[in-house]
Chains A and B, each alone.
Chain A
Amino acid sequence: MIAAMPAPLPAPTFDAGAAYPEVEDLRKALDAADWPAVRAMVADRDPDGRTLLARVVGDQVGIEAFLQRAYDDNPEDPHAGLLLGAWLIRAGWRVRSSYRAQHVSRSQFAKFHEHLRRSEQVLIDVTARHADDAAAWTQRITNNRGLELGQAEARRRYDRLAQHHPHHAPAQSSLLQQFCPKWSGNWDRAFGFARECAQAAPDGALNAVVIAEAHLERWLEFDTERERAAYLRDPAVVDEVMQAGQRSVLHPDFVDRPGWVSVRSAFALIFSLTEQWTAAASQFTALGNRGTEYPWDYVDGAAGFTKFRAKAYAKGGQS
Chain B
Amino acid sequence: MIQHLDVDGVPTLLAATGGPMRAGLTFRVGTADETLVRSGITHLIEHLALAPLGLADYHVNGATAQAFTTFHTQGSEADIATFLTAVCGNLSDLPVARLDVEKEILRTEWSSRGAAAVDSIPLWRHGARDYGLISYPEWGLGALTADDLREWTARWFTRENAVLWIAGDRVPAELRLALPAGTRQPAPTASSALPQTPAYFVSGSRAIVLDSVVRRRAAASVFSAVLERELYRSLRQEAGLSYTTTTGYEPRGDGYAMLRALADALPEKQDAVLGGFIDVLAKMRVGRIEQADLDATIAKREDFLGIAEVDAARLPSYALNVLTGEPNLSVDEHRAELKAVDLADLHEVAGEMIASALLMVPGGLTADWAGFAAAPTHSAEILQGTTYSSKEGNAALRVGVDGVTLLQTGDPLTVRYDDCAAMLVWPDGARQLIGSDAIALHIEPTLFNLHPGAIPAIDAKVPGDRQIPMPARAPDAIPQPQAPVRQPTASATSTWWELPAMVLSGMGVLVVGALSVLLTLAMLLTETKPGEEPLWGGVVVLWLLTVILTLPIVKLRRRRRSR
Contacts and interface: CB of A to CB of B under 8 A. Distances in A.
B271 A150 contact: yes
B275 A156 contact: yes
A237 to B, nearest CB: 30
Interface stretch (B282-290, B378-386, B434-442): B282-290
B241 interface: yes
Given A128-B279, A129-B288, A156-B241, A120 B271 contact: no
Contacts of B65: none
B271 A152 contact: yes
Interface residues of B, number: 23
A28 B370 CA distance: 33
B272 interface: yes
Interface of A: 76, 116-117, 120-121, 124-125, 127-129, 131, 147, 149-153, 155-157, 159-160, 163
A76 B286 CA distance: 9
Contacts of A129: 286, 288
Chain A interface helix/strand/loop/mixed: helix
B274 A153 contact: yes
B286 A153 contact: no
A76 B288 CA distance: 12
B272 A124 contact: no
Nearest to A124: B282
Contacts of A155: 272
B269 A128 contact: no
B369 A116 contact: yes
A156 B239 contact: yes
B268 interface: yes
B244 to A, nearest CB: 18
B89 interface: no
Nearest to B269: A152
B268 A127 contact: no
A121 B285 contact: no
Interface string B214-251: 00000000000000000000000011010000000000
Contact of B286 (A128, A159, A160): A128
A319 B503 CA distance: 79
Given A125-B286, A128-B285, A152 B369 contact: no
B276 interface: yes
Given A128-B282, A129-B288, A156-B239, A121 B370 contact: yes
B500 interface: no
B158 to A, nearest CB: 51
Nearest to B268: A152
A-B interface, 6 closest residue pairs, ranked by CB to CB distance from nearest: A150-B271, A152-B272, A128-B282, A156-B272, A153-B271, A153-B275
A171 to B, nearest CB: 15
A147 B285 CA distance: 23
A124 B285 CA distance: 11
11 contacts: A116-B369, A117-B371, A121-B370, A124-B279, A127-B279, A128-B286, A152-B268, A152-B269, A152-B271, A153-B275, A156-B272
A156 B370 contact: no
Interface string B284-328: 011010000000000000000000000000000000000000000
A163 B274 CA distance: 19
Given A125-B286, A128-B279, A128-B285, 16 more contacts: A117-B369, A121-B371, A124-B278, A124-B282, A128-B286, A131-B283, A149-B271, A150-B270, A152-B241, A152-B270, A152-B271, A153-B272, A153-B274, A156-B275, A156-B276, A159-B239
Contacts of A124: 278-279, 282, 370
Contacts of B498: none
B275 A157 contact: yes
B368 interface: yes
Contacts of A120: 369-370
B363 to A, nearest CB: 13
A304 B285 CA distance: 49
A157 to B, nearest CB: 7
Contacts of B368: 117
Contacts of B269: 152
A124 B286 CA distance: 10
Contacts of B283: 128, 131
Contacts of A156: 239, 241, 272, 275-276
Nearest to B239: A156
A94 to B, nearest CB: 19
Nearest to B241: A156
Contacts of A149: 271, 275, 369
**B269, B272, B365: residue with the most chain A Cβ atoms closer than 10 Å:** B272
Interface centre among B271, B276, B286, B369 (most CB of A within 10 A): B369
Contacts of B272: 150, 152-153, 155-156
Contact of B282 (A117, A125, A150): A125
Interface in B325-381: 365, 368-371
Nearest to A144: B275
Interface in B54-73: none
Contacts of B285: 128
Contact of B271 (A121, A128, A151): A151
Nearest to A129: B286
A125 B282 CA distance: 6
Contacts of B279: 124, 127-128, 160
Contacts of B238: 163
Contacts of A153: 271-272, 274-275
A75 to B, nearest CB: 9
A131 B233 CA distance: 15
A310 to B, nearest CB: 43
A151 B285 CA distance: 26
A117 B268 CA distance: 23
Nearest to A149: B271
